Structure 1
Amino acid sequence: MKDHLNIVRHPLVQHKLTLMRDKTTPTAVFRQLLREISQLLAYEVTRELDMTTRHIETPLAEMDAPVLAGKKMALVSILRAGNGLLDGVLELIPSARVGFIGLYRDEKTLQPVQYYFKVPTELGERLVICLDPMLATGHSAAKAVSLLKEAGADNIRFLCLLAAPEGVACMKAEHPDVPIVTAALDERLNEQGYIVPGLGDAGDRMYGTK
């Protein structure tokens, strides 16, 4: 991917995102929409994957057919909201290896606090897709990417549902080599660090905890 920020403007993505933004959308429908939109976004984030060929035999002839090259990719969810994206992407790429990074945002400093880290081996030989629905301040995303790089990853892409300009700027400053794929770039952050107009707290809306 050449661009640092890639906004997926596909009509189905934008339509489903509008339904998710609506505060009257119930939890079960919100989760289903997130699963669906994550699969559509996955098509974009997996563009330009390395390919090779494998010799196969169809019912009619032999051929050299295209297949993915290298080790299976790694999907790394930033807990807890990242699991909403993970479920959908994993349905599309069931052979992917899966990791988790536990981070929560200190509501006073807005800085990330780490509490869990478990990722696949040999990250340096895999495409790593980091998943979190909201790129708000960018602090948690940048911290997660730093942890992945420390674990050996050097081919990382970040997939989110919504991004704020502040988060994009933070990621570009700290990790200019990591492309961002998102469904929308919203206006700004509010004083509490939430994306506006946004869709509220993605984790709370996914799990009905508020």
Structure 2
Amino acid sequence: MKIHYISKENSILNHFLTQLRDVHIQKDSMRFRKNIERIGEIMAYELSKTLSYKELDVQTPLGIKRTTCIEDKVVLCSILRAGLALHTGFMNFFDDAENGFVSAYRRHGEPGQESEILVEYQAAPSFQDKITILIDPMLATGQSLVAVFQKLMMHETPKEIHIAVVIAAPEGIAYLEKQLPDYCHLWVATLDEGLNEDNYILPGLGDAGDLAYGQKL
């Protein structure tokens, strides 16, 4: 798996990441969602550099200009619900992309039994021979992403698979490297220290879904 860390150099991306983490700024859920969206736009721009382009002539009011446009067909697929704001950022740039949505949650078994990730709701177009971008803001253990990947790719083969996350833990990255094919691309806005005993990313930012959309039952 090829990993792209896009916050290695200082940019406005780090400014938005700082605001996401700040416990005082987090109280404004609209601002939190907007910062996630902005990060999605930055990540979409960086990812766009890896796509295939074709040349064409465009008619302007004063002449014809030889230029390029994206040749690949792109599918954006986010994991509900935390992925929605990040998805919007990608959609702002890949405005011709098809869009998919999938749910994943952890079901706890009896005491002493391992929990499992269930992928139930799925509304997505065909991924066959398309650039497929899986979107989820937080990469903690990586189990949800792998479960979604396995479910979506059971019957189709995308041209390329890109996974976009805002904050990642080393444990999650290691798990993806073991479970996913070598041709996958992982785009990480920033890498954190690790996971606590409850599998929350440290120092992280808390629960991205709750901060964006309110606490769930």
Q: Same fold (TM over 0.5)?
A: yes
**Aligned AA for 1:173?**
K
| Structure 1 SS opposite 2:99 | strand
In the alignment, the residues of structure 2 paired with residue 106 and residue 156 of structure 1 have an alpha-carbon distance, to the nearest angstrom, of 27
| Aligned position for 1:118 | 123
Aligned pairs (5 A) from 1:160-175 = 160-175=165-180
Aligned pairs (5 A) from 1:75-94 = 75-94=76-95
In the alignment, the residues of structure 1 paired with residue 44 and residue 58 of structure 2 have an alpha-carbon distance, to the nearest angstrom, of 27
- 1:114 is displaced (CA, Å) by 1.2
CA RMSD of aligned residues (A): 1.7
Cα pair distance change 1:65/1:178, threshold 3 Å: same
Percent identity over paired residues: 33
CA contact (8 A) 1:70 1:125 kept: no
| Aligned position for 1:144 | 148
| Aligned position for 2:57 | 55
Cα pair distance change 1:11/1:70, threshold 3 Å: closer
| Aligned position for 2:4 | 6
Cα pair distance change 1:107/1:34, threshold 3 Å: farther
Structure 2 gap segments, 5+ residues each: none
Superposition TM-score, scaled by structure 2 size:
0.88
After superposition, the C-alpha distances for 1:181-202 in whole angstroms (9 at most, x for unaligned) are 1111111111111110000010
Cα pair distance change 1:70/1:29, threshold 3 Å: closer
Specify which structure has the higher proportion of strand.
Answer: 2
Count of residues in correspondence between the two structures: 206
Structure 1 window deviating more from structure 2 (167-176 vs 144-153): it is 144-153
- 1:57 is displaced (CA, Å) by 2.1
Matched, 1:95 2:96: yes
In the alignment, the residues of structure 2 paired with residue 150 and residue 47 of structure 1 have an alpha-carbon distance, to the nearest angstrom, of 28
| Structure 1 SS opposite 2:210 | helix
CA contact (8 A) 1:51 1:69 kept: yes
- 1:104 is displaced (CA, Å) by 1.1
Superposition TM-score, scaled by structure 1 size:
0.91
